[in-house]
Structure 1
Amino acid sequence: MALNPRDVEFEISPGRKVGDRHPCFIIAEIGQNHQGDVDIAKQMIRVAKEAGADCVKFQKSTVLERFNKKCLARPYDVPQSWGKTYGEHKLFLEFSEEQYVELKKYAEEQVGVIFSASGFDYRAIEFLNKISIPFFKVPSPDVGNLDFIEFMAKKHVPMVISSGMQDMDTMRRVYHTVKRYHNKFALLQCTSAYPVTPESVNLAVIQAYKENFPDIVVGYSGHETGTTISLGAVALGAKVLERHVTLDKTWKGSDHSASLDMNELANLVKQIRILEASIGTPEKFLLPAERFVKRKLGKSVVVLGDMKKGEILNEDNMAVKNAEPCGYPPHDFHRLIGGVLKRDLEDDETILEGDVDLKQTEKGEKKVAALILARKGSKGVPGKNIKMLNGLPLIAWTILACERAACFNEIWVSTDCDKIGNISEQFGAKYHCRDPLTAQDKSTSKEGFLEFIHHHPDIWAVCSLQCTYPTQNPTLISRAVKMIKEGERDCVFAAVNSHKFRWARVKEDRGGCTRPLNFDPYNRPRRQDWSGDVAESGAFYFFTVDQLKTTGSFQSGRVAYVLDSEDQGDHVDIDTQEDFVRAELMIKKHSAKFELNQLVPKSANIPMSGDFRSAINGFVDHGISGVANGSS
């Protein structure tokens, strides 16, 4: 997921955006590692900037408001202490408001680095807001305090929220609390241990945050030693990275041991920028750096034997080799078959662009076939493929729609049932006797496609139409065929608009919470103002044979859809007896619109008598009942 950028970003400081399409925002957390000395703090600001940090961050508390009396009075006789009591220790390390203003001015005006701070209490937040801190950093201990989170969110200042010591339910509450006011915030995976061991880091939460909160920026706040884990976080998609820094790891203070020294910080920033450059784009294409190697190692199509101008290329007089110079790549081998040479070529010579008249190939017939897969039985309605619908067998309506589209060289019905095949032939389709091994309850449509193609190698492209979708639109079918034949697309499918707000499925026995998949609950659109999603209608799938054979998928390569503008209420995919009742009304309107009844062959002799209807229904009731069918 880290390699698939999302359109998620916000401005964390004037002129600096963070998000999946921006460099990782690196925060050097000085915290209270300044030893209570403003001069040391300034030195750390300057060196952190020189190391490449985007931001320096401190911690601001109103000590007497943040801690109760007993906490402040607690003896604090430890090596890290700056006072006899915990209160004295905290007060020693706390800068005054005047000192914070001085440090902010120094960072922004003299050093040129973003200055921010974590606020640990309400008064601290008010002060930080007063001096125009660009973003609030919410420390892990305060994440569960939703009133405090809301207090900050109401100020509409960007927020960076750590998540140490929390669980996913708490983070969902935090997310929803802030979202009520704005979406300018990032959630950082964090483990509150100093230093944290690798097995407690749990970087996988970064991915979980991206999935559960797809519309916000995700990051990492690390307390580990070294830089390896932070690099891993960036590789997984962390776009905000916070690390504690120090000038000397041996100094007094509990955070120094889990901090990076400034040389480590500089190395981390350098490695992050190299890593980001290496991630690149999810698009796969020939890169400039590969062109020389491709000329050296890439393979091309060559001729076998001396060939004269006007000769026709075929599988036996071409081969694929490492060639000099480079010519047609291997994937064009089959496209060259049938092409006519425009010049003489010597044995083993590369076929170059311009050497072949491919128009000859284009003029040759590209056979396009309609294919209707129809098995014997049905779980819902036995024999439904030939059950009567408005006076005709169900399968007939799809055949007639193909006839009306007038864009197929052949219309085929592939079935393991002779009676279905014979009835289909009465309506003008050809009957392919389907291998029973590809017509089992567990069989897939792709198995049916491949079995059919194996027996009909002359077919260039296939349009698979769903027999149980009787209101096939001939206009859409014709449009899809055109897109394929003109070489614009490798695969085209029928689609409809969907105006359903979708939510992620959760396992009920685990009591999980769901999340929206295609809308923002805080900016929920009115249905009438929403263009909706595009969903497969299931009516048909069109693909080239070569695409299916080379990729193993009938929906790969250059995929497109044709959108049915008709209301979904005008269509039905028949699966139950009740669907037949609905379809009976729809097919009358549909047949009249496209004049399908005019295409019924006279030889079918329908519905001159009830004999044909009786024969089919008798077949449905007795001939193939009990045969399960999970798909076409």
Structure 2
Amino acid sequence: MKTLNISIDGTEIGVGQPPYVIAELSANHNGNIETAKKIIEVAAQCGASAVKLQTYRPDTITLNSDLPDFKIEGGLWDGHTLYSLYEWAHTPWDWHKPLFDHARKHNITMFSSPFDFTAVDLLEDLNAPAYKIASFEAVDLPLIRYVASTGKPMIISTGMADAEEIGEAIEAARSAGCKELVVLHCVSGYPAPASDYNLLTMPDMAKRFGVLTGLSDHTLDNTTAIASVALGGCMIEKHFTLDRTGGGPDDSFSLEPAEFKALVDGSRTAWQAMGQVDYGRKSSETGNVKFRRSLYFVQDIPAGGVITPEAVRSVRPGYGAAPKHLEAIIGRRVVEGVAANTPVKLDNLSD
């Protein structure tokens, strides 16, 4: 059977592998490259599998216009135009090489979400090991095809996309040469309530499209992300900041270091707990088998004596015959005499 597992920067992702947890740096550098570097360092310390950037400039993602179409009303970014928001939030392109170098220095994988062809070209020059298509770009099939043409592993987020659009994005990626793909279930609310996530969509998506699935999580805690592992999620992406009160565009719905470390640990524990189908006795249970119930004599019975209902009980510990034999031994005789408070041994009973 062909495996869907993929590999990013030497790490296998998918069935049989622990969750791949991505720290989304996004705009949380707040315009300071040293903050960006510190986020990379702390993400590595928290056990993140990778750190992800977003590669755009305001002019590559929108138009510099204050017409109503381009104004944001309500929510976190109320009052901004799209251009002013992305001017505030973007990661300068001349930071990319220093940040990629810094990630390598701290032994953590780095890749990015490109938002146009020129961003892909920049990331190719930096030998990015994978690409992420953001939810808002999941309908940009030319961009998906261009990214797929690199031959690198791809991750596609599905926020706001319906089943038809998800299918179109996957087909665009595959038809343009993508061989390694993970599709992330996502809700593009900032923050998003857990009740919107409908995680049961994940196994359906995996079956319907024949893909590995994961979660891009915008809830404010880790419960939803950890639960996704139990539904087959092999990848989790979560926004990461040093200080949620930092005032940046994405800080308020991002995890701080202690929370992110808890996500890494909790998702791995959930994965370990899923395990495999196994009805056998577990190693941690071995010492407690003796405390199960079994049959004990509660009266003395001489050799050849008949076992009466009053002479036997099912009690703890478990050194005697199993309780399922109780009815079968009533009326039988003991070969050798037995004392009260001793276990019933089936080989001491006559036929």
Q: Give the TM-score category using the shorter length.
A: 0.7 to 0.9
TM-superposed CA distance for 1:49, in Å, is: 1.4
Give distance in 2, aligned partners of 1:132 and 1:161.
Answer: 19
Determine if contact 1:49/1:111 at 8 Å carries over to the other structure: yes
Which position in structure 2 is the counterpart of 1:190?
A: 186
Contact 2:222 2:263 in 1 (8 A): yes
Q: CA deviation at 1:190?
A: 0.6
1:72/1:88 contact within 8 Å kept: no
Match of 2:61 in 1: 66
- Amino acid across the alignment from 1:122: F
Instruction: Please point out which of 184, 200, 206 is paired with 1:204.
Output: 200
Q: 1:17 Cα shift? A: 1.3
Aligned to 1:133: 128
Where 1:246 maps in the other structure, the secondary structure is: coil
Residue 259 (structure 1) aligns with: 254
Is 1:321–2:314 an aligned residue pair? yes
Change (3 A) 1:280 1:322: farther
Match of 1:529 in 2: none
Residue in 1 that maps onto 2:343: 350
Give 3-state SS (helix, strand or coil) of 1:257's partner.
helix
Counterpart selection for 2:212 from 214, 217, 239? 217
- Contact persistence 1:29–1:245 (CA under 8 A): yes
Q: Provide the residue aligned with 2:110 in structure 1.
A: 115
CA distance in 2, matches of 1:247, 1:351: 64
Give matches, 1:124-523, under 5 Å. Answer: 124-180=119-175, 181-213=177-209, 215-299=210-294, 306=301, 321-322=314-315, 324=317, 326-330=319-323, 349-351=342-344
Q: 1:292 to 1:298 in 2, by over 3 A?
A: farther
2:171 and 2:347 mapped to 1: Cα distance? Answer: 61
Q: Which residue pairs with 2:97 in the alignment?
A: 101
Choose 1 or 2 for highest CA Rg: 1
Q: Percent identity?
A: 23
Q: Is the 8 A contact 1:150 1:177 kept in 2?
A: yes
Measure how far apart 1:189 and its partner are: 1.0
Give the aligned residue type for 1:136: Y
2:52 to 42, 57, 66: 57
Secondary structure at 1:118's aligned position in 2?
A: strand
Structure 1, unaligned stretches of length 5 or more?
1-5, 359-632
> Which amino acid letter does the alignment assign opposite residue 112 of structure 1?
N
Q: 1:284 to 1:76 in 2, by over 3 A?
A: closer
1:140 CA drift (Å) = 0.3
How far off is 1:327 after superposition? 4.4
| Alignment: residue pair count | 346
- So what's the TM-score if we normalise by structure 1? 0.47
Gaps of 5+ in 2: none
Deviations 1:309-354 (A, max 9, x none): xx9x9999997723556244456789999x9999776677535587
Query: C-alpha separation between the residues in 2 aligned to 1:263 and 1:332?
Result: 54
Letter in 1 for 2:56: S
TM-score by length of 2: 0.81
Classify the secondary structure of the residue corresponding to 2:277. coil
What is the rounded CA distance, in whole Å, between the counterparts of 2:12 and 2:53 in structure 1? 21
Secondary structure at 1:224 match in 2: coil
Give the deviation of 1:220 after TM superposition. 0.7
What is the DSSP-based 3-state SS (H/G/I as helix, E as strand, rest coil) of the residue aligned with 2:28? coil
Secondary structure in structure 2 of the residue aligned to 1:106:
helix
Question: Which residue matches 2:20?
Answer: 25
Q: Distance in 2 between matches of 1:343 and 1:21?
A: 54
Tell me how large the CA RMSD over aligned residues is: 4.0
Deviation at 1:241, TM superposition (A): 0.6
* Deviating more after overlay: 228-237 vs 326-335: 326-335
Aligned pair in 2 of structure 1 residues 301, 20: CA closer, same or farther (>3 Å)? farther
| Deviation digits for residues 291-317 of structure 1 (CA, Å, limit 9, x no counterpart) | 333211333587998486xx9x99999
CA contact (8 A) 1:194 1:258 kept: yes
Q: Where does residue 366 of structure 1 map in the other structure?
A: none
Q: In structure 2, do the counterparts of structure 1 residues 75 and 278 end up closer, same or farther at CA, with 3 Å as the change threshold?
A: closer
1:456-508, Cα deviation, whole Å (9 max, x unpaired): xxxxxxxxxxxxxxxxxxxxxxxxxxxxxxxxxxxxxxxxxxxxxxxxxxxxx
Name the SS for the 1:104 alignment partner.
helix
- Distance in 2, matches of 1:134 and 1:315, equals 75
Q: CA deviation at 1:55?
A: 1.0
Aligned CA distance change for structure 1 residues 345 and 277 (closer, same or farther; 3 Å):
same
Larger deviation, residues 96-105 vs 50-59: 96-105
| Contact 1:186–1:217 under 8 Å retained in 2 | yes
Q: Is the 8 A contact 2:296 2:341 kept in 1?
A: no
Q: 1:329 to 1:21 in 2, by over 3 A?
A: farther
Please state how far the C-alpha of 1:44 moved relative to its aligned partner.
0.7
| Whole-angstrom CA distance in 1 between matches of 2:235 and 2:143 | 22
For residues 120-144 of structure 1, give each alpha carbon's deviation from its aligned partner in whole angstroms, at most 9, with x where no partner exists: 1112122223322121111001112
Q: Deviations over 1:406-431 (max 9, x none)?
A: xxxxxxxxxxxxxxxxxxxxxxxxxx
Distance (whole Å) between structure 2 residues aligned to residue 205 and residue 15 of structure 1: 29
Deviation at 1:277, TM superposition (A): 3.4
**Per the alignment, do residues 296 and 79 of structure 1 end up closer, same or farther by CA in structure 2, a change over 3 Å counting?**
closer
Equivalent residues of 2:293, 2:318 under 8 A apart: no
- The structure, 1 or 2, with the larger RCO (C-alpha pairs under 8 Å, 6+ apart) is 2
> Counterpart of 2:8 in structure 1: which amino acid?
S
Structure 1 distance, partners of 2:45, 2:56, is 28
Aligned partner letter, 1:350? P
Aligned pair in 2 of structure 1 residues 77, 351: CA closer, same or farther (>3 Å)? Answer: closer
CA distance in 1, matches of 2:226, 2:168: 29
**Partner SS state of residue 5, structure 2:** strand
Secondary structure at 1:260's aligned position in 2?
coil
Could you tell me how far 1:279 is from its partner in structure 2? 3.1
For the residue of structure 2 that corresponds to 1:17, the secondary structure is strand
Amino acid at match of 2:19: C
Could you tell me how far apart the structure 1 residues matched to 2:72 and 2:298 are? Answer: 87
Q: 1:260 is matched by which residue type in structure 2?
A: L
**Per-residue Cα deviation, 1:74-110 (whole angstroms, up to 9, x for no partner):** 67899988x99654553454444442111111111x2
